[in-house]
Amino acid sequence: MQADLSSYRIKELAYQSGFDLCGVASPAVIPEARRQFNEWLDSGLNGEMTWLAANIDRRTDPTRLMPEVRSVIMLGLNYFQPDRQEKSEGFGRVSKYARGKDYHKVIEKKTRNLIERIRADLASHSVEAGEKFAAKWWVDYGPLLERTYAAMAGLGYIGKNGMLINRKYGSWIFLSEIVTNLELEPDDRLAVNHGRCGKCTRCIDACPTGAIIADGVVDARKCISYLTIERPSSIPEDLADRMGDWVFGCDVCQDVCPHNGRALVTSHREFTDDSGVGEFLNLKAVISLQSREDFLGLTAGTPLTRPKLEGLQRNAAIVCANQSRPR
């Protein structure tokens, strides 16, 4: 569908809907990204996240998501907030992305708002254009290699830690995407994509478990974020010993990244500490939870529901053991 809107206008509407970043990419398959993703899966680096190996074509080819797709609109939200001072023993640290409200729900509201703004803008030019407009959207649980398409849309580049790094916001970005039948001018990623990792290896050197095994390649089976959130079974002792005080997620590879030294504090109150569980969890309180109702009383509306009660209590017990060990 030929658009009556320009890519510039789409970005204006995205910013009006509350997004910090917006770019447009072609829906073409990116062969190198598909090859790398297949190699990562073939090596078993996805661990127990078996769903990632399902429908590989849908993850690497936007036409499988929408046959009439003409453009991919990539969107970003800044979630950075500085850490407080160290808490005393008995508390476990929560990754920055999970301290406030569940970002899936926050992004869903903003994305639906953007789609309605686009539809209304099209309809103001032509009723037929508004009626023919089609769009589907996803957050990170959707079937698309979002970081790759975000890089193609000029939102940043993929660093050695596998994160998308933006010049303004660093890597503290939530991503989402809209596939649409609008034929929009794609961004020139080479013109707007600044920065590279160069010879820097700080994220690789700092990773407590050695999970970054090559430039842009993360072995999920060793990653603390995967271990504390996605792994349903027990955590091997040698990895548990290196989890430190991380009770949910991990920010080490991002905290040490030089590009994040200039990160801007988020303007989205939904992601701040007072909107969710905050930076630290009381470990004894977590271990003492008796029921699913108690668990949801603590975690409902936040990303911490993901590992379920058993997983969060497992993590809390590991952090307690790590803190009681002589340093």
Where exactly are the structural domains of the chain? Answer: 7-82+102-192, 202-324
Structure confidence at residue 102 (pLDDT)? 96
Structure confidence at residue 58 (pLDDT)? 86
140 is catalytic: yes
**Which residues fall within 8 angstroms of residue 160, CB to CB, at 6 or more apart?**
197, 200, 201, 203, 204, 212, 215, 216
Six token digits for residue 101: 């409200």
CA distance 222 to 317: 19
CA distance 127 to 121: 10
| pTM as predicted | 0.93
Structure confidence at residue 20 (pLDDT)? 98
Name the packing angle between helices 7-16 and 103-125 (round to 10°): 130
140, 241, 273, 294: which one is catalytic?
A: 140
- CA 272 to the chain's CA centroid: 16
Nearest to 235 by CA among 135, 149, 319: 319
pLDDT tens over the chain, length 327 residues? 666 689 999 999 999 999 999 999 999 999 999 999 999 999 999 999 988 888 888 889 999 999 999 999 999 999 999 998 777 789 999 999 999 999 999 999 999 999 999 999 999 988 788 889 999 999 876 678 999 999 999 999 999 999 999 999 999 999 999 999 999 999 987 755 556 899 999 999 999 999 999 999 999 999 999 999 999 999 999 999 999 999 999 999 999 999 999 889 999 999 999 999 999 999 999 999 999 999 999 999 999 999 999 999 999 999 999 998 765
Q: Which helix (H) or strand (E) holds 103?
A: helix 103-125
